[in-house]
Structures are given as structure tokens and as C-alpha cells.
Copies of this chain bind each other. A is one copy, B any other.
Amino acid sequence: MPQNTERVAYVNGNTVPESQAVISVFDRGFRWGDSVYDMTRTFGGEPFKLGAHLDRLYRSLLYTRIDPGLSKNEMEEITQEVVASNRRLLGPSDDYSITHVVSRGLIDTRFHEGANVAIYCLPLAFATFARQYVDGTRIITPAVRRTPPQSLSPKAKIANKMNHFMAEFEAKETHPDAVALMLDMDGNVAECTGANFMFVADGVIKVPNRRHVLPGISMETVIELAETLDIPVQEGDYTPFDVYQSDEAFITSTSYSIAPVATLNGRPIGDEMPGPITRGLLAAWSDLAGVNFVDQALSHLPQSERGS
């Protein structure tokens, strides 16, 4: 693979081809999950709400007492440089996810002192999620419960995702594309793996109690868009019962922004796919981003699979 077609990544002060972007096996993140991370996407090649993502990254760092060795401004500058270096390798209908990982460093400091910081770009895998815009997402509530805040705060984005992965294995038993909607210790709807969950009832967007979920930048974007669209938003302790009775539901994440929900535990949610409020939010977000990201995603599918 000739270097000039290879993307670069930032690792501990150096910008290197991705194939050379490595860390020591003595890394505490690799061994213990002693690291935090965040992910930003680009629209039209430009990072979207990078500031908000870095704010969250630094809240995660503060909480876990990891010193990244870089100010937030330095982190932002480096990020922009990494994106800039890789932009020429972005296809016309492509966009990047930008990942930040910061571990507390090595167990054995002979090889490196201080935090290990990595920043890298990956093209968004549109083909893997494009159908969700058309078909909706199958949601399953697994038996595994979301780690409670008195053990570890869900508000920090920590490299301790096995709880989510165990939930995901349960959901995948029903269908390879199914997504786990985790409940909190009291059986309230919390969050999906890497996505926030929201639903619509009587014209109101319902947001699960933020105490038990990652404060998703996409979730916050939906709330801002709802305000501009005059759709009321209500946070509360909701249970699967409420979702079964809802008119629409959707999940939000950095990669697909908003994906409508088709079913909860096999029961259809709503009459249209997506429902009218979800459609309105998708349109408003496309306006905000300057990119019709639904069309963008569908363009990665063979014509025959793009739906109506």
C-alpha cells in the first residue's frame, strides 16, 4: 500500500501513516480499559460540533483523573490538522469519523511517559447503516442492565464498554442488525450501545432520564432542533410500556445522526417509517449540516436496495 494513498493518524506528538500508528502493549488502556475516548464526524469533510465533542472528552478526562498533556485548544488544532491531512483521501460522497483515544499511559514507563493520545479518521461505513433510514431499527431490551452511576458514571465516555457489548450479544440473538436498548437498574429505558434512544408520544419528544445515559452530542442536537421546530421535549423515567405505546421512536449517534426505530422487542412502533416528527428532525439536521446525510448514506447502497 503506497504511503500517499494511506491516511495518517496522530500518536503522541507524531503524525504517522495509519499502518504505523501503534502503542506499546504495556498501555493501560489496552490492559485495563484505563482510557477515555470520543468520536466526531464530518459533514462535507468538516468536523461537526468538534468543540462539543472535545468538551465532553475533557469532562471524561477530568472525571477519570487522566492528564492528556495537551490543552483543549492544542487538541483541537491537532485534530484539525489530522483531518486536513486526510481530507484529500475522502471520496465524494464520503465523510469521516474522527476518533480521540487518551489512555493514562503505560504500566512500564521506560518506553513512554504520560498519557497515550491517538487521533485517527475512518471513513463512515454508510453501507452498514443506510438501510436503517428506510427500514427502521430493530430494538431489543436485553437482560443485562446499564452500569449504575454509583459504580461508574455513564456521563463519561470511558473505554469500559463490555457492559454494552454483553447487551449487544443478547440483542443480536434476535437478528444480526438488532440494537440493544439497555435499561437502568430500575428497569427504565436508558441508552443503546453508542446511541441515545428517544421516542415521541402525543407530539412530545421523550428523552430518558439523563442520569443514566451519555449526554450524546447528537441527542443534544435533536433537542436544539426540536426547539426550533416547536416540538416539546420531556425528560423522564420511561419504561418499555411507554415505548410500546409511542407514536415514533429513534436513536441518535454521531455516525448516522438519527435513525428511526421500527420495532421494540418485535412490536412495531408507529405507522410510518420514519414517522412525521422523525422526518422533520432529519430534514432540519440535514439543513443544519448542509448535507442530506440520508441521501448520502443511501448512495452507498446498490440502487436496488435504496428503497422508495
With both chains docked as a complex, state the minimum distance between the C-beta of A23 and any C-beta of chain B, in angstroms. 6
CB contacts (< 8 Å) of A187 on chain B: these are 143, 145, 148-151
Pick from A161-169, A254-262, A276-284, A299-307 the stretch touching chain B.
Answer: A161-169
Q: Is A70 an interface residue (CB 8 A)?
A: no
Contact with B along A217-251 (1 / 0, CB 8 A): 00000000000000000001101111011000000
Given the interface pairs A148-B148, A151-B146, the reply to whether A245 lies near B63 with Cβ below 8 Å is yes
For window 89-141 of chain A, which residues contact chain B by CB distance below 8 Å?
Answer: 99, 101, 103, 107-108, 110-111, 116, 118, 120, 122, 140-141
Interface size on A, residues (CB 8 A): 82
Q: Is there contact, CB below 8 Å, between A186 and B150?
A: yes
Q: Is there contact, CB below 8 Å, between B22 and A166?
A: no
CB contacts (< 8 Å) of A63 on chain B: these are 241, 244-245
> Could you list 30 A-B pairs, sorted by A, with CB under 8 Å?
A9-B25, A18-B110, A21-B24, A23-B23, A23-B25, A23-B27, A29-B33, A30-B30, A30-B159, A31-B35, A32-B160, A32-B165, A33-B158, A62-B244, A63-B245, A144-B151, A144-B152, A145-B148, A147-B152, A147-B163, A148-B186, A149-B186, A152-B166, A153-B239, A153-B241, A155-B241, A159-B162, A160-B162, A209-B237, A211-B236
Besides A150-B187, A153-B239, A170-B265, 13 other CB < 8 A contacts?
A18-B110, A23-B25, A30-B118, A30-B159, A62-B245, A141-B142, A143-B150, A148-B151, A151-B187, A156-B241, A160-B162, A185-B186, A211-B239
